[in-house]
Amino acid sequence: MISRRMSRSAVIQAIASFGPVSRASVAKITGLSKQTVSEIVAILESEGWVRTVGQTEGHVGRRAVVYEISPSAATVASVDLGGTKVRVALCDLTGNVLAERVEPTERSGGINVVEQIARMVRQTVSDHAGSLGDLHIAVVGVPGVPDPRSGAILLAPNIAGIDRIDLAGSLRERLGFEVFVENDVNLAALGEHWLGDRGDDENLVFISIGTGIGAGIVVGGNLLRGSCGAAGEIGFLPFGADPFEAESLKIGALERVSAKSAIIDLYRSLSNRTADVPGVFDAAGEGDAAAIETLDEVARQIARAATAIVAVVDPSVIVIGGSIGSRDEFLDRIIRFVSDCYPRTVEIGKSRLGDHATLAGGASVALSHLHISIFAEGQQGVEISVPPPAIENFRA
């Protein structure tokens, strides 16, 4: 039985990676006999997981039928829960986005955020004219550290009450299928690695700068979580603000001087004027000295953190994203300051996925879980890597 499950997972991996592909080619790729491959493909086709898409062309003699994954066989949901917005994407079995929704995050937090996510997932399925029964798995990216024991989200000051509820468990009760929760920046790093055309970058760091600041670290092609799942919580690096002050213990010394609130507060203290973050960027573009100094100082603090990460992890690339980090004029500052304080050239680039990076990572994790549960039947030690869709297909 175990051998049969391994053969089934090997066949589906070959079809997922190389499809459209013939049964003879699958046999060559997997090393299985043609008879075994034919039997497994017939079962997968009868169950609706694979489909025929024509025949091989250009070969002498009899043409062979070719197969690919059937995209509509199942769906997964990817959710990006942020401090200001919630995004939900419904994806097919090959990772293409079928429908998408975005709303302001429920400000009251706690269980009301759970209700909001559950409602948005149902509405997104309805937008696609689909059935909730076709939805197998959801992955939720959160701005904090999921506690594996309680299900609460720790170190998440931007969403009230989320540290007092079992987020995954509460969503499972409301939706009726498996829900996994992961740090949002970890998912963004996985998304960039999976879909951002950075598959050759086995050592990658994603730094997100927006409402808060955090990092996702990929080492050797695998996500670095750490012993408690808190790897990448760089907001707590002891830079910028006094790390021993009570406020630093709450949100982190670096986050106090490097995210949205820091830009607003610093600009106000330098100019005696009030502006939101876009307003500060606009003012800097118009030559406002206080705005320029504000962005320079915040970028300098982030460059210190990025340099510390480079010294420890030595990534091939640092990807900068988030609502603030993705701005070209801010990225240019970070690059300049890193070059001023580190002797080796460090590749620093903008996220290629923009505000869809976390959704892409969530989709990749959801699809991997789905493929393993269905095609390997949960067998331990079996991994099925899901090839990414075309990047232009990862938007509704």
CA distance 52 to 45: 8
8 A C-beta contact, residue 355 and residue 323: yes
Is 171 in contact with 285 (CB distance < 8 Å)? no
Which range scores top for mean pLDDT: 133-147, 155-169, 283-297? 283-297
Quick one: pLDDT at residue 8? 86
Q: What is the per-residue pLDDT for 61? A: 58
Least confident of 53-57, 69-73, 203-207: 53-57
Q: Which domains does the chain have, with CATH numbers?
A: 2-69 (1.10.10.10), 72-188+356-379+388-393 (3.30.420.40), 198-351 (3.30.420.40)
How far apart CA 353 and CA 89 sit, in angstroms, is 14
For residues 168 and 180, is the Cβ–Cβ distance under 8 A?
Answer: yes
pLDDT value at 58 more than 60: no
DSSP string for residues in 132-155: GGGEEEEEEEESSEE-TTT--EES
Locate the DSSP E strands across 143-264: 145-146, 153-154, 178-183, 204-209, 213-219, 222-223
What mean pLDDT do residues 103-125 have? 95
In the structure encoding, which two tokens stand for residue 103, read together?
Answer: 């709303």
Residue 384: both structure tokens together: 């099925």
| Long-range CB pairs of 67-72, under 8 A, 24+ apart, other chains included | 67/15, 67/19, 67/20, 67/21, 67/22, 67/23, 67/26, 67/41, 68/15, 68/19, 68/20, 68/21, 69/12, 69/15, 69/16, 69/19, 69/93, 69/94, 71/96
Contact (Cβ atoms closer than 8 angstroms) between residue 13 and residue 368: no
Tens digit of pLDDT for each residue in 151-192?
889 888 789 899 999 999 999 999 999 999 999 999 999 999
User: What are phi and psi for residue 220, nearest 5 degrees?
Assistant: 60, 30
Q: Give per-residue pLDDT as tens, 261-287.
A: 999 999 999 999 999 999 999 999 999
Burial class (CB in 10 A: 0-12, 13-18, 19+), 243: middle
Q: Each residue of 217-266: pLDDT tens digit?
A: 999 888 999 888 889 999 999 999 999 999 999 889 999 999 999 999 99
What letter would DSSP give residue 388? P
Q: Do 120 and 86 touch, CB atoms closer than 8 A?
A: yes
- pLDDT category, 132, cuts 50, 70, 90? confident
**Is the pTM here over 0.75, yes or no?**
yes
